[in-house]
Structure 1
Amino acid sequence: MARVFGAPADATRWACVDDRDVLSSAPRGWPDADPALLTYVHAAAAAGEPAAFLWSGGPGRVVAVGVTPVWSAGPRPVAEVTTEAAPAPYGLTWRELQVLTLVAGGLTNTEIAARLRTARRTVATHVERLLTKLEVPTRTAAASTAVDARLLVLPIPGGAGGLAAIGVQRLEAAVSRRTTAPARPGPRPVRKHPIVIGGVYPAEGRLSADGQGRRRAAELAVGEVNAHGGVDGHELVHVAVEADLADLTSLAGGIDDLVGRGVDAVTLGYTLARHDFAGVFASAADHGCPVLHSATSQSAQSLVLEEPVRFGNVFQVCAPESRYGVGFVRALRDFEASGSWRPHRRELLVVDSTDPHLTTFTAQAHEAAERAGWRVEVERVDFLRPGWRQVLDVIGQRDPAAVMVATWVEPSLLDFLRRFRATGSQALVYAIYAPSVPGFLERAGALAEGLSWATVIGTYQDGLAGRFAHEFAGAHHSDPGRSGAGIHYDMVHLLTQAWRQVANPHDTAAVNQQLRTLVYRGVSGAYWFGSPGQSALTYPDDTADPSIAQAHLVHQVQDGRHVIVAPSPYAQGTFRPPPLSSTGPPGAAAR
């Protein structure tokens, strides 16, 4: 289940002054985690009136906030602030709570739809569901329940204007006055409304190392943009939630939570569950903000192709997984052509996923292998719960020249390598993506030596990428890895370029159109979404022009480090025969 980093969960007594002062006795780490909430706390304390409202605490959970002004002999307003995280009341979703708040404010379905930037029939569905959950017959009864049970949320979508004078409306209006009032002589200038980037990252577990690198890289990029004045004076704010990447409900919940917060863009990495991207992206499609993801998915690309109007705000920043199969065949051809590898058999084993939406070795790859004279056998494995015995038995029986292991999950690959090395097989092992995860070489040790692996989007080893790696290491005292962190660093700068080129960065339609036309060169290559399906291109699979694509990088672990061996001109070195791989005598390939 997705959750917000640093969500408040305890009560304290705070001194409240203005939105630049640090609150005394605040829960450690919370003020920096959610500064927007502090704005409302300050406004309530300054108004001297009790306030109670709900704040998003992640999918299915809310934070009940209470602000009680207390007497103070000093010049600063003081309030006791209590926060309690709990499951959403009555089973209401955050979007339903937003609709309920607007209903309590006296708005019609049409007016609510305009504020939420969604269809009126969608709002009508939300209203029907919340009436059912609250067990009330009418909108008036629902509004009364919302006020009495303190079910009103902040921030109010669309602001306080036009709403009845319910408690949260007054507080929303007070916040608006604090942030838009003309500056008195001397004080700091009024700040523009921030631009909020919401990122969905892997929850704790087998993918957490990769998720931590992605989040840190996004925060590094946000800091760089803000250090240069933000976007025309708009500060960038990064909001992070966690989700289970193998659970579509959790993924959709994470995005729903961010949309409920009114983010200006959503970023998402790869996913291990891919059979319903329409459900995952539904709330973001209604919201209209750009969604940048690196799911490496043909299904996601096809969704945009089939429904370009509804999902025209969804952009895949890399090529789909089907490119890995043809890349494997091409890499073997290059290894042979170099004279560095002479396979002892014309037989290949591909270990692919049991999930058809994760298939890497497609019909196109089979055709390429056949043209090159290879016989291919495919074994399918659930990479989240792999059982390697059958695969190892096939390796022992068929004695393939090379084995492609198409898992994104690093622990799964490490488990295979331990078992495979013990067999003494001479096969060349070729992996995808998983070795790019930060710390892979340290965890794999000698098991990784000679391993070949590829990623359709990875961090280059040029000056631009070198500066990124240096800044990342300086900030976090760790290595960013070879793919995920660079992708999320690029996503922030790519969005920033689009925001800077439109008149209003909160105009999502204009931003999406800008994303369809611009070309951005990041640490992982060039991003261009002008092709059908709004998916980035890979070189040389999709285009011979690397200026509008990302290189399909092939690496080999040599002497304990990753070395890019293809394609030209990005190669740092040449392929070496792996320690357990035989070069074979001349003519052995004919066996």
Structure 2
Amino acid sequence: MEFDDRTGAQYIVAFREVTQYARALLELDRERIVFHLADHQSRWHRVEISRHAALLGRRVATVQMTLVSPPFNLTVRELDILTLVAIGLSNENIALRLDISKRTIQKHVENLFGKMQLWSRAALASYAIQQGICRLPTPGGVHNLGLGLTEIEEAAASLREPGLERQEPSRPRPTSVRPLIIGLPFAESGRGKADSIEMLNGATLAVAEINARGGISGRPLCLEPVAFESGDPTSTAAAYRDLIEKEVDGITAGYACYSEQVHDAVGEAGIPYLHAATMHHAVERVRDSRARLGNIFQTCASDVNYGLGLARFVHHLHAAKHWCAQKRRLAILKPFWAGLDIGLAHLETELGRRGWQIDIVDVALERSNCWQEAVRKLHQLDSSLIMLASYFVEDSVAFQRAFLDNPLRAIVYDIYGPSVPQFQSELGDHAEGVVWATTSGLYSDPIAESFRERYRRSFNADPGSSQASLAYDRVHLLVGAWLRAAHPRLFKEVSYELRTSISRGLNGSYFLGSQGQVGLAFPDDTSDQSISQAHLIFQVQNGRNTIIGPAPYATGSIRTPPWCA
């Protein structure tokens, strides 16, 4: 299609920026420029603007626009990146300018090498400039680059359009701003589903409150929830792969999705990742591979701390001359969960000094009557203290039902599971008297009470005693690091801010600067409450989770469970 008359002129004038570039060419005393642009219908044009001899004393430039197929079958995004490579920007600077990940830029540059059969950035840049395979306007803006085609663009921006001198300046059009995205994998089915609701609600409330205050430096924040099936490694890995491909700016997660495969994939992507797997094994891998996994942070203390907490609990029982301590028989129920280590070695050392016998009872969850079998075994052992080594509320509910059908005089000590509201909503009065612990729990202070009230207004329900507030805190930890770093997509800077800063949240204080990048527990890991989260011990009393330790966080003391009365 070719027009060299008024029709052609009208066609070109419709591209306002092209006429401005032609005027700029004359102002800059340039002879010729060649570039590509795409119109609103995504049609590609090769544009050539040339200076000609003065005509009747006037400077003249001619414009030739040709509809073309994309050279080398490039995509528009690849043309953007080729243009910025030609300007001389690094992958990191291109990623910041286009607000996408450095990993994606690397992939596009590799595609350019393959499509153009040029094998260096210098060769790409030279060929693109010589052949005019660059895009105007400059992707991401000019920002005083002062190089090549951008010089034309800067000059064009400074020119007034003919006939507009007397017009009022137009208002700038609002530009759409890409939100900052937090990926959130959650268990849609299987064990952990109920707790995922807590996690989603806590994160959703944090995001809503941040956006109500104007977002992050004017940018909105949004969640990208991705479902997986708890206990299915393939489903879990697919959820994380999805988030990585969507180029989220950060990931927060609970405990039901840990695997080495997942952590390796996130480590390779470099995306800041805050999780609550509560596994010493995960912490050790980060400690031993900081160069590879330095973007991964466990926001609460590890599973081994539960042994420390139980030993401390037993110490207090002895000090109070409690009936449970007289028999000195501990049974640990262990449903299988890969990698879980509750600190058995420490328990055996500490309680062994006091003459306690520790019995391990494995629970085969695939058997329909597994909990009834476990209770019969407890009677044979005549245990006075029973620890259920499972994070899942589904296990806590199932065991408590089986236990109350055939109880014995013993304290039931769960880890984490009863923090989920489902524990009391399903058991009702049968939850009364259960003792349980968590390495990250919601305090009973004014900050926590304010959160509880806002949560009730938002979801018409009370939050649990751990995960909702922990998810809320994780969002704020990530946002704080973004604000302190130069840019949210500078992942190494964001990770540096996460490991070097101290933040006070709903569940205590977060300091993730240890070698394994894991939250500290008070008083297990440190006596400094300003950098740690209290390892809280609760008991269900009068239908509420009451903190019974440690001081100074306790709001009550242990009571004899109703099945022992």
TM-score where L is the length of structure 2: 0.71
- Is 1:263 the counterpart of 2:248? The answer is yes
Aligned to 2:274: 292
The alpha-carbon deviation at position 117 of structure 1 amounts to 3.5
- CA distance in 2 between counterparts of 1:303 and 1:172 reads 47
Q: Residues of 2 paired with 1:209 and 1:280: CA distance?
A: 22
For residue 213 of structure 2, what is the aligned residue in structure 1?
A: 228
Instruction: Give yes or no for the alignment of 1:307 onto 2:289.
Output: yes
Q: CA deviation at 1:563?
A: 0.4
Amino acid at match of 1:423: N
Q: Is the aligned partner of 1:334 residue 2:316? A: yes
Seen in structure 2, the aligned counterparts of structure 1 residues 171 and 557 have a Cα distance that, compared at 3 Å, is farther
- The answer on 1:562 being equivalent to 2:555 is no
* Kept in 2: contact 1:195–1:506 (CA 8 A): no
Q: Which runs of 5+ in 2 are unaligned?
A: 1-37, 44-74, 96-100, 117-124, 142-152, 158-168
Asked if structure 2 preserves the Cα contact closer than 8 Å seen for 1:449 and 1:578, the reply is: yes
Shift of 1:559: 1.2
Do residues 200 (structure 1) and 200 (structure 2) align? no
Distance 1:364 1:389, change over 3 A: same
Moved more, 193-202 or 536-545: 193-202
SS at match of 1:485: helix
Aligned counterparts, 1:33-112, within 5 A: 47-48=40-41
User: What is the SS of the residue equivalent to 2:486?
Assistant: coil
Cα 1:315–1:426 change in 2 (3 A) is same
- Residues 379 and 424 from structure 1, CA distance in 2 versus in 1: closer, same or farther, beyond 3 angstroms? closer
Q: Deviations over 1:42-80 (max 9, x none)?
A: xx9x93569xxxxxxxxxxxxxxxxxxxxxxxxxxxxxx
Alignment of 1:447-458 (within 5 A): 447-458=430-441
**Structure 1 residues 404-423: aligned runs within 5 Å:** 404-423=387-406
Aligned counterpart, 1:130: none
Give the distance between the partners of 2:352 and 2:563, measured in 1 at CA.
Answer: 26
Query: Counterpart of 1:254?
Result: 239
Aligned partner of residue 482 in structure 1, secondary structure: coil
**Alignment length (residue pairs):** 450
Which residue identity is paired with 1:516? R
> Which residue of the other structure, out of 520, 531, 545, is the alignment partner of 1:548?
531
| Corresponding position of 2:224 | 239
Alignment equivalent of 1:494, drawn from 477, 485, 494: 477
CA distance in 1, matches of 2:366, 2:444: 31
Compute the displacement of 1:439 (Å).
3.3
Q: Which residue of 2 aligns with 1:215?
A: 200
SS in 1 for 2:294: coil
Q: Deviations over 1:253-293 (max 9, x none)?
A: 21221111111101111026x5x42x102332222221000
Q: Secondary structure at the match of 1:237?
A: strand
Note if 1:510 corresponds to 2:503: no
CA offset digits 1:185-215 (Å, max 9, x no partner): 4466545542211111111344222111211
**Cα distance in 1 between the residues matched to 2:497 and 2:114:** 40
Contact 1:102 1:112 survives alignment (8 Å): no
Partner of 1:395: 378
Mapped partners of 1:170, 1:452: distance in 2: 67
CA contact (8 A) 1:252 1:281 kept: no
Q: CA deviation at 1:539?
A: 0.7
Tell me how large the CA RMSD over aligned residues is: 3.8
Question: Which one-letter code corresponds to 2:535 in the other structure?
Answer: H
5 Å matches for 1:142-153? Answer: none
Q: Tell me how far 1:312 sits from its aligned partner.
A: 0.3
Distance 1:267 1:47 in 2: 38
- Report how far residue 546 of structure 1 moved: 1.4
Distance 1:106 1:515 in 2: 34
CA contact (8 A) 2:299 2:519 kept: yes
**Kept after mapping to 1: 8 A contact 2:190/2:231:** no
1:359 counterpart residue number: 341
Matched letter for residue 194 of structure 2: A
Q: Which amino acid in structure 2 is aligned with residue 416 of structure 1?
A: F
Q: Distance in 2 between matches of 1:347 and 1:293?
A: 35
Q: Distance in 2 between matches of 1:413 and 1:170?
A: 62
Q: Distance in 2 between matches of 1:555 and 1:450?
A: 10
* Higher deviation after alignment, 521-530 or 263-272: 263-272
Give the direction of change, closer, same or farther, for the CA distance of 1:112–1:574 in structure 2 (3 Å limit): same
> Would the aligned equivalents of 1:255 and 1:266 in 2 still touch at CA under 8 Å?
no
Give, as a single letter, the amino acid of the residue that structure 1 aligns with 2:186: Y
1:480 aligns with 2:463: yes
Letter in 1 for 2:363: V
**Aligned equivalents of 1:476, 1:103: Cα separation in 2:** 47
Measure, in 1, the Cα distance between the counterparts of 2:136 and 2:264.
Answer: 28
Q: CA deviation at 1:390?
A: 3.6
Matched letter for residue 533 of structure 1:
G
Contact 2:298 2:519 in 1 (8 A): yes
- Aligned-partner Cα distance in 2 for 1:412–1:443: 12
Q: Deviations over 1:12-50 (max 9, x none)?
A: xxxxxxxxxxxxxxxxxxxxxxxxxxxxxxxx9x93569
Q: Does 1:441 align with 2:441?
A: no
Q: Which letter does structure 2 place at the counterpart of 1:325?
A: G
Tell me what 1:377 maps to: 359
Question: Is the partner of 1:460 in helix, strand or coil?
Answer: coil
Q: What CA distance in whole angstroms lies between the structure 2 residues aligned with 1:384 and 1:112? A: 51
What does the per-residue CA deviation read over 1:458-485, in whole Å, with 9 as the maximum and x for residues that have no partner? Answer: 1111111111111111011012211111
The 3-state SS of whatever aligns with 1:47 is coil
User: Is 2:452 the partner of 1:459?
Assistant: no
Structure 1: which 5+ residue stretches go unaligned?
1-43, 51-98, 128-137, 142-160, 583-591
1:345 aligns with 2:324: no
User: Helix, strand or coil for the counterpart of 1:431?
Assistant: strand
Separation in 1, partners of 2:394, 2:179: 39
C-alpha change, 1:431 and 1:467, in structure 2 (3 Å) is same
Residue number in structure 2 paired with 1:573: 556
Answer yes or no: is 1:536 the counterpart of 2:519: yes
Query: How big is the shift at 1:419?
Result: 1.2
Identity %: 33
Distance in 1 between residues matched to 2:191 and 2:343, nearest whole Å = 25
CA-to-aligned-CA distance 1:128-160 (integer Å, 9 cap, x gap)? xxxxxxxxxx9669xxxxxxxxxxxxxxxxxxx
CA distance in 2, matches of 1:368, 1:521: 32
The 3-state SS of whatever aligns with 2:562 is: coil
Closer, same or farther in 2 for the Cα pair 1:237/1:452, shift >3 Å?
A: same
Shift of 1:250: 2.1
Written as runs of structure 1 = structure 2, the 5 A alignment for 1:110-121 is: 117-118=102-103
Given that 1:351 and 1:405 are in contact with CA atoms closer than 8 Å, whether structure 2 keeps it comes out as yes
Q: 1:229 to 1:196 in 2, by over 3 A?
A: same
Q: Secondary structure at the match of 2:504?
A: strand
* Structure 2 SS opposite 1:203: strand
Conserved 8 A contact 2:432-2:561:
yes
Contact 2:194 2:420 in 1 (8 A): yes
Give SS of 1:494's match. Answer: helix
- Residue 118 of structure 1 deviates from its aligned partner by 4.7
